[in-house]
């Protein structure tokens, strides 16, 4: 065998040895990576998608933001009109039925503005389906209230347990500054009308307030007690990357954001209001099961919304693994309460 042949063979064996060693190190690195992310609950396919550690989540209470379109322009909105998509009624009902089969007891319809599509008829048919066909214990709505009419109550009020109206101030100029208004219409006058209709058509009345830089020093005790809601939910202004914060957001909520101590001071001033239910950012961010307009669960744990696949495509159980839902915080913030008309009537 010639010297050139021996040299060639030696070079070949050395190359193969180093190639084998490189592949072994790569495989070892992959398995370490895979094990690490599995321990952290992170998907190997996408390290930014985190699976819920609890694989047995029962979706007792679900918030369905079926539209992102709204007629108001609230500066701190954290679910903005990034798409105009809305599922048709047939597919929406199919998804609601799937959720009920997996244990849903309460559905909350939100937006956007839920009374905007088809002048509230789309919403009305969904609440009717949930109460009449699915027989859900609790059907609730969150709205800015501007498009609600007495006729809607006459048609659909009997299918609704709780109607929550967003009101951040009892001063019209403050509401206008925030963006909660439309033309010369009085948000506050409409609020009192809706309260009267709720009483008349046996719907529990609730108020949602977002504390921010424009209203943190307003004393609302007198008006809240006059309206006498079953719950007054008081939120701290929340920043969500891609929604109301960051370069890709449709809103810039930085100017509305308040520190924890300012929020806590607002709560201290209003502590005499028995129906007050406070929610700081730490309580709010991951303690809601949120479905978007495609019926995808939204995981907010990283400070932005990471969607699962639609429950219509992969089922509820699989989608829940990517919901980021914090059930412990849900219970801690009072997520379970007397959320139906019947429960409040019996006062259990």
Question: CB neighbours of 57 closer than 8 A, spacing ≥ 6?
Answer: 320, 323, 325, 327
* Predicted confidence (pLDDT) at residue 243 exceeds the cutoff of 80: no
- Residues 325-339 pLDDT 10s: 766 666 665 665 565
Question: Average per-residue pLDDT in the chain?
Answer: 83
Give the pLDDT of residue 42: 42
Q: DSSP per residue over 79-144, as a string?
A: S--S------HHHHHHHHHHHHHTT--EEEEESS-TT-GGGGHHHHHHHHIIIIIS--SEEEEEE-
- CA proximity to 326, closest of 50, 68, 17: 50
Answer yes or no: is pLDDT of 2 > 60: no
**Gap between the Cα atoms of 221 and 230, Å rounded:** 15
**Cα–Cα distance for residue pair 276/262, rounded to 1 Å:** 17
Per-residue tokens: 267: 């709560």
Long-range pairs, 313-322, Cβ under 8 A, ≥24: 315/98, 316/59, 316/98, 316/99, 316/101, 316/102, 317/55, 317/102, 320/52, 320/57, 320/59, 320/102, 320/289, 321/51, 321/52, 321/55, 322/43, 322/49, 322/50, 322/51, 322/52, 322/297
Confidence check: pLDDT of 22 > 60: no
Active-site residues, by number, are 70, 74, 77
Q: Look at strands 231-236 and 276-279 and give their pairing.
A: parallel
Percentage above 90 pLDDT, the chain: 57
Q: Is the pLDDT of residue 89 over 90?
A: yes
Tell me the pLDDT tens digit for each residue of 169-202.
999 999 999 988 877 889 999 999 999 999 999 9
Q: What is the mean pLDDT of residues 335-347?
A: 60
Query: Who contacts 6 (Cβ-Cβ below 8 Å, separation ≥6)?
Result: none
């Amino acid at each position: 065998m010639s010297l050139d042949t021996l040299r060639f063979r030696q070079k070949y064996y050395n190359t193969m040895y180093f190639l084998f060693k490189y592949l072994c190190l790569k495989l070892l690195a992959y398995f370490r990576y895979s094990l690490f992310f599995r321990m952290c609950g992170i998907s190997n396919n996408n390290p930014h998608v985190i699976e819920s550690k609890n694989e047995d989540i029962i979706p007792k209470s679900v918030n369905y933001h079926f539209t992102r379109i709204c007629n108001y322009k609230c500066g701190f909105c954290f679910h903005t009109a990034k798409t105009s998509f809305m599922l048709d009624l047939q597919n929406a009902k199919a998804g609601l039925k799937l959720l009920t089969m997996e244990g849903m007891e309460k559905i909350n319809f939100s937006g956007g503005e839920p009374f905007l599509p088809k002048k509230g008829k789309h919403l009305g048919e969904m609440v009717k389906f949930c109460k009449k066909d699915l027989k859900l214990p609790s059907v609730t709505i969150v709205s800015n209230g501007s498009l609600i009419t007495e006729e809607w109550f006459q048609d659909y009020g009997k299918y609704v347990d709780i109607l929550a109206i967003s009101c951040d101030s009892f001063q019209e100029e403050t509401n206008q500054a925030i963006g909660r208004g439309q033309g010369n219409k009085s948000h506050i006058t409409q609020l009192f009308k809706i309260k009267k209709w709720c009483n008349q058509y046996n719907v529990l009345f609730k108020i949602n307030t977002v504390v921010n830089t424009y209203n943190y020093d307003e004393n609302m005790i007198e008006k809240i007690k006059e309206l006498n809601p079953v719950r007054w939910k008081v939120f701290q202004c929340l920043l969500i990357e891609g929604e109301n914060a960051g370069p890709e957001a449709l809103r810039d909520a930085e100017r509305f954001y308040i520190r924890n101590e300012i929020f806590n001071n607002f709560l201290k001033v209003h502590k005499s209001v028995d129906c007050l239910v406070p929610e700081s950012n730490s309580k709010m961010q991951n303690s809601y099961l949120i479905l978007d307009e495609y019926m995808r669960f939204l995981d907010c744990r990283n400070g932005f919304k990471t969607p699962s696949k639609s429950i219509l495509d992969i089922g509820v159980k699989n989608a829940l693994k990517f919901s980021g839902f914090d059930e412990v915080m849900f219970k801690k913030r009072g997520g379970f309460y007397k959320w139906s008309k019947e429960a409040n009537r019996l006062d259990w």
